[in-house]
Amino acid sequence: MIGITKKRLGDMLVESGKISMMQLQEALRRQKVLGKKLGEVLIDEGLVSQEDIIEVLEKQTGIKRINLNDIEVDRKVFKVVPESICSKHELFPFGFNGNKIMVAMWDPLNIFAIDDVSIASGFEVESYIGIRQEIKTFIERYYSGEQVLKAAEELSKEKLMEVKEIEVSEFDDIKNAPVVKMVDYLIKDAVESRASDIHIEPYEKIIRIRYRIDGQLQEVSTLTIDTLPALITRIKILANLNIAEKRLPQDGRIITKIGNKELDLRVSILPIVTGEKVVIRVLSRDSYNINKKQLGMSEIELNKLDRIINSPHGIVLITGPTGSGKSTTLYTILNEINKGCKNIVTIEDPVEYMIEGINQVNVNTKSGLTFATGLRSILRQDPDVVMIGEIRDGETAQIAVRAAITGHLVFSTLHTNDAPSSILRLVDMGLEPYLVSTAISGVIAQRLVKKICPKCSEAYEAISYEKKIMGVDKDKPLTLHKGKGCAYCNNTGYYGRTGIYEIMEVTREHKELILSSNSSGALKDLSINHGMKTIETSCKELVLSGVTTIDELINIAFSLD
């Protein structure tokens, strides 16, 4: 709070009994030294909470508080209030009320902020009290989206050149060219929206841009088709691809930074009948740098995981479909066992995250470096732990098994629906059952399920169909949860994802069963008797605890069939 505003807030807090006069004077002294707002100093010192300040302001000024997640934002406000004012004063405009513009403010007494908004917009300001972090989140989310739309409009208006006429130097010189801004804003907006992939899809008359958020594609913008050549060319330049090649698929990589986030963007370009389709996988270095307790496993499952990964030798498999979080689990495990006394070598296609202290090899099929050939060389490097990005064929599986039998701990991934069926998959690849039974230490099958938005979650009474799915008697009451949709979750009802797991420890009984039977059902029953929770059971527990919805359970059950 600045100027007279500081005194007003301080006086209010003293009058309400939240702080003493002595604490206020000390906070004012600290505020001068730190150069922060008074409210920040008081919160940092632990003298008051953000809720205390909001409560006092609301009571003594009559200014109402606003929950931005509960309102529908009028995007017209972004045309009259620039992002710079919002970021400078920590405020977010969200609509109009007659001749007034409605603004959520962390500091609703800041007369300088009110004047700036009024001058910029030409409207009187109707102030509301907002939560500081919520305001910051909404500024990032909405203004980055508006920048994409604005850049798209500029790009559509500009008469674009043919690809063959575009030189790399032209884009390098014109940093503010609409196509340059469009791509920059697109990447920034995707990151702010928590997107894992950006899809740029050309059709006969338009280009559709979609983000995959929490595993689901959402349309964010459209462009006219004549903007495609410049857009594709700009992306190819950034990814060091051949801008003249339009008939063959190309793969590239863009290393960049948005704010404090280091990003690794994997670019895939595919020629289709209407042009070139682009998919950009957004990989954040932060997403792989997590603790095993953040994976979403229960305490019992974490104990099982510890027993499996601390085996002196053997194969540990992570299984599941594409996009089920296998890479995150693998990197988390590698971080866990990355001790100075172990030589850890990986072979991946591609290396998604560089880990200090681990030797990582990138597959290069063009030069003949495949999983199988690379693995043979790795075993001559005196490794303690080997990680294979994926067991894709019988040759790689044979070498991995031999490595495990000869005293190495091997981690890899496999595409199977559940943990027990991965054993049969290895046998189908040509491995003898006795080798599989000797080599396998454990299998972790996993899926990702969407979590109900915490801001709009609501309880409801389950209908008979849902009770049947949950295995509950139709006459018994059952309370479930779902998200009704709000601004926080972009009206999807979901926000974020969590893992569900099926961890199969391979015991002596498992080894005997692998030798005597080729039934995954028998392995599954044995594992359940040994305390293994199936993926479906794990998902049901999350449904009952209000973490996810029964729709997600149905999706999981369908994918397991």
SS3 state of residue 246: coil
In a domain, 304, yes or no: yes
> Of the ranges 13-17, 101-105, 111-115, 151-155, which one carries the lowest mean pLDDT score?
151-155
pLDDT band at 157 (very low <50, low <70, confident <90, very high): low
pLDDT at 8: 64
In a domain, 548, yes or no: no
In a domain, 106, yes or no: no
Q: Is 544 exposed, middle or buried (0-12, 13-18, 19+ CB in 10 A)?
A: middle
pLDDT band at 49 (very low <50, low <70, confident <90, very high): confident
In a domain, 551, yes or no: no
Residues 242 and 310 in one domain: no
pLDDT at 93: 93
Residue whose entry in the numeric block shows the structure tokens 């710079």: 84
Question: Cα(370)–Cα(366) distance, rounded to whole angstroms?
Answer: 9
Using an 8 Å Cβ cutoff, are 207 and 231 in contact?
yes
Residues 324 and 183 in one domain: no
In a domain, 312, yes or no: yes
Using an 8 Å Cβ cutoff, are 181 and 174 in contact?
no
Q: Is the predicted pLDDT of residue 243 greater than 80, yes or no?
A: yes
pLDDT band at 236 (very low <50, low <70, confident <90, very high): very high
Q: What is the share, in percent, of the chain residues with pLDDT greater than 70? A: 92
Instruction: Detail the DSSP E strand segments found in 385-478.
Output: 385-388, 409-414, 440-452, 457-461
Residues 146 and 251 in one domain: yes
Residues 181 and 257 in one domain: yes
In a domain, 549, yes or no: no
Structure tokens of 103? 């603004």
Residues 323 and 418 in one domain: yes
Torsion of CA 506, 508, 514, 515, to 10 degrees: 150
In a domain, 369, yes or no: yes
Domain boundary among 227, 251, 284: 284
Q: Please give the radius of gyration of the chain, using alpha carbons only, rounded to the nearest integer.
A: 28
End-to-end CA distance of the chain: 59
Q: Indicate the number of domains in the chain.
A: 3
Question: Cα(358)–Cα(351) distance, rounded to whole angstroms?
Answer: 12
Using an 8 Å Cβ cutoff, are 446 and 324 in contact?
yes
pLDDT tens for 169-211 read 444 444 557 888 888 888 988 988 889 999 999 999 999 999 9
Identify the domain containing residue 237 by its residue range.
138-159+175-284
pLDDT at 126: 92
The DSSP H or E segment spanning 127 is strand 124-129
Considering only residues 262 and 206, tell me which one the structure prediction assigns the higher pLDDT: 206
Considering only residues 282 and 58, tell me which one the structure prediction assigns the higher pLDDT: 282
Torsion of CA 64, 67, 68, 73, to 10 degrees: -60
Residues 346 and 408 in one domain: yes
CATH code for position 264:
3.30.450.90
- What's the mean per-residue pLDDT of the chain? 86
> Of the ranges 136-140, 249-253, 282-286, which one carries the lowest mean pLDDT score?
282-286
- CA 25 from chain centre, in angstroms, equals 44
pLDDT tens for 423-477 read 999 999 999 999 999 999 999 999 999 999 998 999 999 999 999 999 888 889 9
Residue 45 dihedral angles phi and psi, to the nearest 5°: -80, -10
Using an 8 Å Cβ cutoff, are 427 and 401 in contact?
no
Q: Is the predicted pLDDT of residue 290 greater than 80, yes or no?
A: no
Structure tokens of 251? 């793969």
Residues 258 and 328 in one domain: no
CATH code for position 339:
3.40.50.300
pLDDT at 48: 80
- In terms of average pLDDT, the best of 156-160, 267-271, 291-295 is 267-271
Residue of 493, 502, 491 lying closest to 546 (CA atoms) = 493
Cα four-point dihedral sign 108, 114, 118, 121: negative
Residues 312 and 348 in one domain: yes
CA atoms within 13 A on the CB side of 191: 22
Residues 265 and 328 in one domain: no
Strand partners, 128: 104
Residues 245 and 299 in one domain: no
What's the mean pLDDT in 274-279? 95
SS3 state of residue 358: coil
Q: Give every strand in the sheet of 314-319, ordered side by side.
A: 359-362, 344-348, 385-388, 409-414, 314-319, 440-452, 494-505
Residues 382 and 409 in one domain: yes
Residues 318 and 381 in one domain: yes
In a domain, 547, yes or no: no
Helix then strand count (H, E) for the chain reads 22, 18
pTM of the model: 0.73
